[in-house]
């Protein structure tokens, strides 16, 4: 396995890196993780991605992680010494039946131990896609992945495959390699519950029959001692996500990313109508404890005895934004063992190791251990 990074943030830098890694001995697939700040466009990147002789996959994220280093510019190229089956599922907004779409794009009886999911993090169909994914593939394999895209919250081409940079799409990567997954967020209920009396996929329109922003801002104002308005919305809201109740496990969080002109809250991920939500809060300490818990879960479940392992970190960008300098500690916690670590600061996280219903998380840290050789 070869891991190289380029901090120039230029396409030329990525091209050189890709060619360098692709030409290395035994490289059978490439994972390419790039920063949004590079501002790559399909016109520039597509010829490069389409010219590759090995399968390629990955995405563009607000930030990426190599070792203990968070990068906001540049890219990381990972040369994998095993084969990867890459399936782009394109133009999902136009698809009525995502299950049918998966059925027709992905062969049956494929040997999959680990499914990596690179998905447009700002797409409204994520909930339906995750449901369809679990319904079709079940709990027979592990899932790890995260939402790609930009903190500008503008939807644009952000996932990579051999066809180029795709918009409104997901890329599924089937690996016949063992893995273990640990997931946690650490956030705790600060206020609630509130009932989601009206929602539309990832948009909370009303809480307790009142405009969602009004209810949310009142609570956040009380909790933070600051005034939440449209201008400072995410700056403050990143510390007060919604938590959706479930039994026996941490709540599933929804990060309120913005507020629309009607006072509806736009979240990263679906919020079901009728759900009870709490407004959550967390400190760096509890968040770091959660990171440690995720890392421990992954390590304890990983019975792989091969020589080479890869730690793949999917850490919510809002955690990074919230934790600021402490985020370094979080990464360090995740790469506590000697295995090389690469990761993404995602817009939503996807993780499952066969014990739960597949969920699209927010504000969570996912630590994946993958057996390489």
Binding site for other proteins (CB under 8 A): 99, 131, 134-140, 193, 245-249, 252, 272, 274-276, 354-357, 359
**CA dist 246 → 51, 130, 251, 252, 316 (Å):** 46, 17, 6, 8, 20
Beta strands in 74-158 (DSSP E): 75-80, 84-89, 114-120, 142-148
Tokens in use for 49?
């991605």
Please report, in angstroms and rounded to a whole number, the separation of the first and last CA atoms in the chain. 8
Count the helices and strands in the chain (H runs, E runs): 9, 26
DSSP 264: P
Query: What is the nearest approach in angstroms of other proteins to the Cβ of residue 195?
Result: 9
Rounded to whole angstroms, how far apart are CA atoms 34 and 118?
12
CB 27 within 8 A of CB 2: yes
Beta carbons of 319 and 363 less than 8 angstroms apart: yes
- Closer Cβ to other proteins, 303 or 355, answer by number: 355
- 172's CB contacts (< 8 A; 6+ apart) are 86, 87, 89, 106, 115, 116, 117, 118, 133
Nearer to other proteins by C-beta: 140 or 225? 140
User: In the complex with other proteins, which residue's Cβ is closer, 39 or 99?
Assistant: 99
**Distance between CA atoms of 258 and 290, rounded to whole angstroms?**
26
Residue 136 CB, nearest approach to other proteins (Å): 6
Nearer of residues 170 and 252 to other proteins, judged by Cβ: 252
Taking the complex as a whole, how short is the minimal distance between the CB of residue 132 and other proteins, in angstroms? 9
| Cα 294 to Cα 291: distance, rounded to the nearest angstrom | 5
Name the minimum Å distance from CB 203 to other proteins.
Answer: 18
Q: What is the length of the chain?
A: 373
| Coil vs helix vs strand at 62 | coil
46 vs 191 by CB, closer to other proteins = 191
Other CB atoms within 10 A of residue 268 CB: 28
Q: How far is the CB of 117 from other proteins (least distance, A)?
A: 16
CB of 288 to other proteins, least distance (A): 24
User: Least distance to other proteins from the beta carbon of 359, Å?
Assistant: 7
3-state secondary structure 135-164: HHHCCCCEEEEEEECCCCCCCCCCEEECCE
Comparison of 47 and 272: residue with beta carbon closer to other proteins: 272
- Which of residues 72 and 99 has its CB atom nearest to other proteins in the complex? 99
Shortest distance, position 356 Cβ to other proteins, whole Å: 6
């Amino acid at each position: 396995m070869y891991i190289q990074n380029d901090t120039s943030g230029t396409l030329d830098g990525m091209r050189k890196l890709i060619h360098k890694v692709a030409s290395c001995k035994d490289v059978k697939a490439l994972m390419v993780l790039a920063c949004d700040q590079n501002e790559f466009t399909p016109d520039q990147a597509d010829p490069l991605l389409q010219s590759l002789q090995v399968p390629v996959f990955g995405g563009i994220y607000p930030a990426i992680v190599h070792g203990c280093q968070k990068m906001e510019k540049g890219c990381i190229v990972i040369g994998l010494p095993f084969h990867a089956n890459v399936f782009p599922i394109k133009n999902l907004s136009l698809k009525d039946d995502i299950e049918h779409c998966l059925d027709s794009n992905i062969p049956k009886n494929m040997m999959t131990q680990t499914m990596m999911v690179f998905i447009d993090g700002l797409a409204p169909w994520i909930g339906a896609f995750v449901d369809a994914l679990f319904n079709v593939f079940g709990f027979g394999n592990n899932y790890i992945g995260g939402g790609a895209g930009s903190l500008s919250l503008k939807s644009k081409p952000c996932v990579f495959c051999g066809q180029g940079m795709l918009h409104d799409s997901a890329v599924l990567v089937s690996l016949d390699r063992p893995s273990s997954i640990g997931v946690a967020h650490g956030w705790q209920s600060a206020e609630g519950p509130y009932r989601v009396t009206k929602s539309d996929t990832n948009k909370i329109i009303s809480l307790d029959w009142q405009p969602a922003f009004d209810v949310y801002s009142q609570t956040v104002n009380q909790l933070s001692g600051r005034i939440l308005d449209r201008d400072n919305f995410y700056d403050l809201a990143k510390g007060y996500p919604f938590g959706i109740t479930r039994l026996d496990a941490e709540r599933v969080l929804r990060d309120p990313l913005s507020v629309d002109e009607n006072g509806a809250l736009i979240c990263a991920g679906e919020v079901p109508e009728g759900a009870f939500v709490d407004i959550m809060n967390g400190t760096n300490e509890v968040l770091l404890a959660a990171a440690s818990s995720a890392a421990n879960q992954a390590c304890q479940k990983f019975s792989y005895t091969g020589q080479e392992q890869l730690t793949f970190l999917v850490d919510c960008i809002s955690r990074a934004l919230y934790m600021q300098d402490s985020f370094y500690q979080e990464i360090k916690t995740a790469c506590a063992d000697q295995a090389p670590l690469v990761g993404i600061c995602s817009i939503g996280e996807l993780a499952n190791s066969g014990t739960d219903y597949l969920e699209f998380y927010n504000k969570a840290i996912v630590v994946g251990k993958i057996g390489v050789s």
